[in-house]
Structure 1
Amino acid sequence: MTLESYGKEEQHVSGLGSLVGGRARIRGWLYVKSIVGKLVFLRIRDSTGVVQVVVKKDKVGEQVFEQVKRLRRESSLMVEGGVRRDKRAPGGVEISAETIRILSPSLEDYPLRRNLSPETVWRHRHLFIRSRMMNTVLKLRSSLSTILREWLLEHGYYEVSAPSIVTAATEGGAKMFEVKYFDKRAFLTQSSQFYLEGAIFSLEKVFCFQPSFRAEESKTRRHLSEYWHLEVEAGYMDFQQLLQRLDRRAGQRQVVAHLVDIAADAAEVGLHVDDDQRGVLGPQVA
């Protein structure tokens, strides 16, 4: 396997549209593979999307071509070649491979397919996050936490970090996870409420965004043993002032509009992939 211009900077899949007619190098994981006659079609995914790569024996050499034919899903690759438009390909562009380097081959078949049971998903959660659906969910979560933090900071709130190991419950009254803390009795926190209430006497307006734990044995969406909790406290603010703060709709519209933009971009890529992935696990877009 050759790689003549190894020092060249790689591009993300999302930026290939601006390189049509030129050359590009990408790194990613094998998402879908199909062999049609003397051609091998690869769908390569990175954090930004999926691109189709066309592999021909006379372009990459017989040795590399045979290795590519044997690749399993989730193998890590570096691909370099010409970029051209093709409306049939995800994202409307594809790469004609000239150089392929197998960075790390997958040693086992990928176990996830369509119509999985919840038990299978939980057992392979570390693999399920690689799906396009979970890629979108994680991006939305990251963007939401960033937007909320920015809004609070812009309005004079300070972010503080509270302990995760505590000695008492908060007002909610949910069951707590007890942990061994040297020779003392302690619990995983349900809420940072008490610590935030103490912090307002120093900083006036505070918030934290960190895990909370509740010992509730249930697998419904309304009961989670661990979740991330955004909590806000402010001094010198009565109930009416709190309602006025929550009713500032301009900030709400900004948050929703930003998340919709991200979801629309991700869903567009996901739909293209889902149309042709031949039974491989992908996003379910309503």
Structure 2
Amino acid sequence: MKIFTTRQAIHQYLSAQGNAVIGFVPTMGALHNGHLSLITQAKAANDITVCSIFVNPTQFNDPKDLEKYPRPIKDDIEKLEAVGCDVLFNPPVSEIYDGNEQWHLDIGPLEQQLEGEFRPGHYQGVTQVVYKLLDIVKPANLYMGQKDYQQFLIVSRMVKLLNIPVNMVMCAIERDADGLAMSSRNIHLSADDRRHALILSKVLNRVKNEFDVNNIGQLQDDAMRALAAEEGVVPEYFRIANGETLVEADASSKTIVALTAARVGKTRLIDNVLIK
């Protein structure tokens, strides 16, 4: 695997690869099997697979959250090599930002809902860095996980708004055997926290199994109550949403997804399940 830390070096290398089809997986590191499944999918469909590891400061609302975000780069490199990733782009912050940049993209109502309500400004930071990374790597295909469903919708919206020539690929959520969605934040969970965190996937699956389009309000209320009843869990939202707009779903919704976020102990977790 080739490793680059500057825009110029990776640009020169990729430009020299002729018409090779590039698949790109942007990450913030602390890689787990969920990330590695994206790499594997990209490997199967592209000539060159590029992974970026960059802990992006502009998408953190809380400086303490940024500070404690895990950065096990040595382990990450070993994992990428083990799955056959071709290129790693691991730049310092100074290589991506020049210090006084302004960025605002009008994403519309998508940005204000769910995650946007609890993490204001987060998606401006996400679109800012993904735009920069796409401009550097210039991939044909961009791979992102379903676990960050709203992020996938917002990046897709950016790609459309800015006419970026890239194909978006959503990859299914990878879960541990007990059902917990894989996340870089899971390392912060104590053994008790982890046990209580299983309520997220249990409630999502229950809602999927009991889904009735005429009973969405009741299902959402019951889900919030079930989450709040679990020791150490403080739910932030649970919504059965139109999969394209994230407003509450109804009978006309072509895609329906249930999404939730909760604090478990001191760790904030998100999860979702596709219903339709």
TM-score range, shorter chain: under 0.3
Task: Name whichever structure is richer in strand by fraction.
Answer: 1
Q: Which has the higher contact order (CA 8 A, sep 6+)?
A: 2
Choose between structure 1 and 2: higher helix proportion: 2
